Amino acid sequence: MIPVIDRSKSVGSRFGWMCGLLMLSMTAVSSADDAPKLRYDVKPGAVFAYEVTINVDLPDSEDRMHGIINYTVKSSGDEQIEFVYTGNVQSSEKKKAAPTTTGPRRGPGGPGGPERFGPRGPLFGSNPITGLSYQTNEVRMTKAGQFVAVKGTSHLPYLLGQLSLLPFERLPKEPLKTWEANIGAVIEESKSETRTPGPPRLSNNEDKNKKTTAGGETLRYEIQKQEGSKVTVRRTCNLQTAPIEGKNIKLQLQTAGTFDFDTDKGLISLYESKGKLTIQQENVSVDLPMQIHFKLLSEEERQQIEQKKKDQIANAKQQQEDAAAKLKQPLTDDERQEIIKKLESTNVAFVGQTLQMLAKREPAAEDKAIALAIKPHLESKFPVIRGWAEGTWKTWSELVEDKDTAKTEKDKPKTEPANPTNPNRPARPARPGRPPAK
């Protein structure tokens, strides 16, 4: 149930804003006169975007997170830069083939192994993973990548921190060939067991069931080469936690890779990294291999994606308008027969979809056969079908009023009122020739 890492609120890392002030130390391992000066330097009003892909190999499935994240620079001074983040990644899980071995399950979730984990398992919780849904964050940081303030959250699972801060690494204040950063970390755990099927859900930052565990992260950087404005830097990360209270579980995240820093654009242009998250409980250890990749989109690519998004919104709106217009058109004989066929089907999905569609239509006199096909569903054994049928019947019942057999109030037998001394006793029909009781 350890969903997020919050190495945050201040001076140190690219991960979060929910806990107290944490300390970060920067160490110059080696200096060089010919080392390039790396700085995040983007003009106010500039817009840029990254395409992010994260793959995690779970014991029984593969989890892929992919999406486009966008940034708009609000201000950029001599020392600090402020921007607005929008976006998210979407998680898709692909199940692996079931093992053919027999016997009791070992490892995660089985005897002698750590508890179940994964983006939908309790170890990584369900509530705080806000990076999987569309979010807006406001970020202020120094031009060396030290975060000053972060408003909002965009947490990722697997201790990967906040999505909004992912494309920003710690840079040295002075030109260096190698440097390292030591960052305090806080791992958050939500103890909530409430879970419904589906993707991880959200919660606010005031989760009373939330627990924290201390940890520490060491980042090491080394410039490998420089080609024009592109500076390639090797990055290694080692994050470890203390044992989680009450679970005797230790976590360790280790990654290694490179990123290209574009000194002309003042941004990281490409990041590629591989690693693993190790979960250790007593004498059992499980590794989750992962790959992390993101790239800065060209202005042409960004605009194409923006246009595609606008086109999708416009198409969806047009489809809604077309569907609304079609509902106002009279049904053809073929359409009428197809609707009746679906209503008489044993396929619950067909019936439900058809009832919902009919609820939006105004019935015509020639649609009486459809109304007759709706009526049996008022007594369906499926509550959801009964509910949809009742809503639809309010409009369509006027077509099938059976005047030959329906009894009017005048035709109904009169009944005596309930016994005033025994209100629970039902009223009984009045006897022939006997006036109703007063």
CB 155 within 8 A of CB 131: yes
Answer whether residue 328 shows pLDDT above 90: no
Lowest-pLDDT range, 54-63, 132-141, 178-187, 330-339?
178-187
Q: What is the pLDDT of residue 260?
A: 98
Give the residue among 189, 201, 297 at the shortest CA–CA distance from 244. 189
Q: Which of 24-28, 44-48, 216-220, 320-324 has the highest mean pLDDT?
A: 44-48
Higher model confidence: residue 276 or residue 205? Answer: 276
Torsions phi, psi for 269 (to 5 deg): -100, -25
Answer whether residue 29 shows pLDDT above 60: no
Q: What is the pLDDT of residue 193?
A: 37
In Å, what is the CA distance from 372 to each residue of 25, 328, 343, 351, 392? Answer: 76, 21, 10, 14, 12
Domain residue ranges in the chain: 4-95+110-194+203-300, 327-399
Tokens of 412: 């109904």
Query: How far, in Å, CA of 231 to CA of 36, rounded?
Result: 8
Element (H, E) at 29: strand 24-31
Higher model confidence: residue 33 or residue 329? Answer: 329
Q: What is the pLDDT of residue 390?
A: 93
Torsions phi, psi for 130 (to 5 deg): -75, -15
Across the range 106-110, mean pLDDT stands at 44
What whole-number percentage of the chain has pLDDT above 70? Answer: 69
Across the range 29-39, mean pLDDT stands at 76
Higher model confidence: residue 21 or residue 5? Answer: 5
What is the sign of the dihedral through the CA atoms of 301, 306, 310 and 316?
A: positive
Confidence of residue 217 (pLDDT cuts 50, 70, 90): confident
Q: What is the pLDDT of residue 33?
A: 65
Answer whether residue 183 shows pLDDT above 90: no
Q: What is the pLDDT of residue 205?
A: 41
DSSP per-residue string spanning 267-292: EEEEEEEEEEEEEEETTEEEEEEEEE
Across the range 218-246, mean pLDDT stands at 91
Helix (H, G, I), strand (E, B), or coil: what is residue 280? Answer: strand
Q: What is the pLDDT of residue 35?
A: 87
Burial of 138 (0-12, 13-18, 19+ CB in 10 A): middle
CB 290 within 8 A of CB 55: yes
Torsions phi, psi for 125 (to 5 deg): 60, -170
Confidence of residue 435 (pLDDT cuts 50, 70, 90): low
Q: What is the pLDDT of residue 186?
A: 60
pLDDT tens-digit profile of 129-178? 899 999 999 999 999 999 999 999 999 999 899 999 999 999 999 999 99
Higher model confidence: residue 100 or residue 286? Answer: 286
Confidence of residue 207 (pLDDT cuts 50, 70, 90): very low
Q: What is the pLDDT of residue 407?
A: 44
Q: What is the pLDDT of residue 299?
A: 93
Residues 6+ apart with CB under 8 A from 289: 56, 57, 274, 275, 276
Confidence of residue 429 (pLDDT cuts 50, 70, 90): low
Across the range 77-99, mean pLDDT stands at 91
Lowest-pLDDT range, 81-95, 183-197, 232-246, 256-270?
183-197
Lowest-pLDDT range, 66-75, 228-237, 357-366, 398-407?
398-407
160 CB neighbour count, 10 Å cutoff: 22
Mean pLDDT of the chain: 78
Give the residue among 208, 223, 207 at the shortest CA–CA distance from 28. 223
Alpha-carbon dihedral of residues 422, 427, 428, 430, nearest 10 degrees?
110
Tokens of 133: 């849904």
Lowest-pLDDT range, 34-43, 181-190, 282-291?
181-190
Answer whether residue 101 shows pLDDT above 90: no
Across the range 200-208, mean pLDDT stands at 37
Across the range 290-315, mean pLDDT stands at 93
Lowest-pLDDT range, 1-10, 131-140, 210-219?
1-10
Across the range 290-298, mean pLDDT stands at 97
Answer whether residue 22 shows pLDDT above 60: no
Torsions phi, psi for 114 (to 5 deg): -60, 160
pLDDT tens-digit profile of 275-284? 999 998 888 8
- Counted residue by residue, the chain has a size of 438
Across the range 232-236, mean pLDDT stands at 97
Q: What is the pLDDT of residue 8?
A: 41
Answer whether residue 287 shows pLDDT above 90: yes
Q: What is the pLDDT of residue 112?
A: 42
